[in-house]
């Protein structure tokens, strides 16, 4: 017996199974025409509802699956982003290190010192800035060669770094044979103490040249400024005062420290 739409519905195996027990029973067409008609309509409604339910369940299952996939991809993306952040931070860190001396470079100084300077200005904290230059470096470089000159820069930079006992203080290779030291919350007495400690450590260095029997003697000229930055004081002004003091130390005979206080 064919019922309208039954051929289509029966093509769905799930619906076929669900409706297996709902087959239209045999009716006496003369005795039960009304019952038979009602049963046919009821059978069609139930079949339609079954298909709708099947679609709803399928859509729900798909949404759950899609949600899980999206969550998994989001977690993977978060891991990738975290790795990229770590890589960027590592690159940023490496970009602020001097490849020769393995201490901070001028880029680090230009970024960090203004922050330290402004903090000292707001909190009215005394700071010290030292500009350090290797004495007779050009002569040494010309006499013993660039390899020896590079080794001197490396040793001097690392020695200065080891002479700074506080993590808040730092040294940078500013350029060539010039170094800069920042000392936080440091008075003139503290700056003089740190400078003399650096000078003593450098004097103790002994480097041998392949061409000479004598040790290469290394000395430094240090100029420094001690100040509580005011509203009128600028970063460039403070640096110039320290730089001028360093050249004054050279004029006075090198291998010494010259401090100014403002």
Contacts of 149 (CB under 8 A, 6+ apart): 137, 140, 141, 177
Residue 97 carries which DSSP code?
Answer: B
Q: In what order do the strands lie in the sheet with 256-261?
A: 104-105, 170-175, 178-184, 127-134, 220-227, 256-261
Q: How far apart are CA 71 and CA 77, in angstroms?
A: 10
Q: What are phi and psi of 135, to 5 degrees?
A: -70, 140
Residue 177: active-site member: yes
Distance of CA 57 to the CA centre of its chain: 47
- Structural element, H or E, at residue 194: helix 188-203
Contact by Cβ (8 Å): 254, 221: yes
Q: How far apart are CA 85 and CA 208, in angstroms?
A: 44
Q: How far apart are CA 195 and CA 7, in angstroms?
A: 99
Among the listed residues 98, 161, 177, 243, the single catalytic one is 177
Q: How far apart are CA 183 and CA 125, in angstroms?
A: 11
Determine how β-strand 178-184 pairs with β-strand 127-134. Answer: antiparallel
* Burial state string for 106-128 with b = 16 or more CB within 10 A and e = fewer than 16: eebbeeebeebbeebbeeeebbb
Positions annotated as catalytic residues are 177
């Amino acid at each position: 017996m064919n019922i309208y739409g039954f051929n289509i519905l029966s093509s769905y195996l799930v619906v076929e199974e669900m409706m297996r027990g709902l087959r239209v029973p045999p009716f006496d067409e003369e005795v039960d025409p009304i019952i038979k008609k009602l049963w046919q309509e009821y059978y069609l409604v139930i079949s339609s509802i079954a298909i709708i339910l099947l679609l709803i369940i399928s859509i729900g299952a798909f949404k759950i699956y899609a949600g899980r996939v999206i969550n998994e991809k989001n977690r993977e993306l978060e891991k990738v982003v975290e790795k990229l952040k770590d890589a960027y931070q590592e690159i940023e860190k490496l970009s602020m290190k001097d490849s020769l001396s393995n201490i901070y470079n001028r880029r680090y100084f230009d970024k960090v010192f203004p922050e330290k300077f402004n903090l000292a200005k707001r909190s009215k904290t005394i700071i010290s800035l030292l500009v350090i230059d290797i004495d007779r470096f050009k002569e040494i470089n010309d006499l013993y060669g660039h390899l020896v000159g590079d080794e001197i820069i490396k040793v001097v930079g690392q020695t200065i770094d080891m002479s700074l006992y506080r993590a808040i203080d730092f040294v940078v290779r500013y350029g060539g044979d010039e170094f800069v030291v920042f000392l936080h919350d440091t008075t003139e007495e503290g700056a003089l103490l740190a400078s003399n400690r650096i000078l003593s450590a450098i004097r103790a260095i002994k480097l041998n040249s392949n061409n000479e029997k004598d040790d290469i003697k290394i000395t430094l000229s240090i100029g420094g400024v001690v100040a509580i930055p005011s509203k009128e004081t600028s970063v460039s002004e403070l640096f110039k005062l320290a730089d001028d003091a360093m050249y004054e130390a050279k004029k006075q005979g090198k291998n010494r420290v010259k401090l100014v206080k403002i």
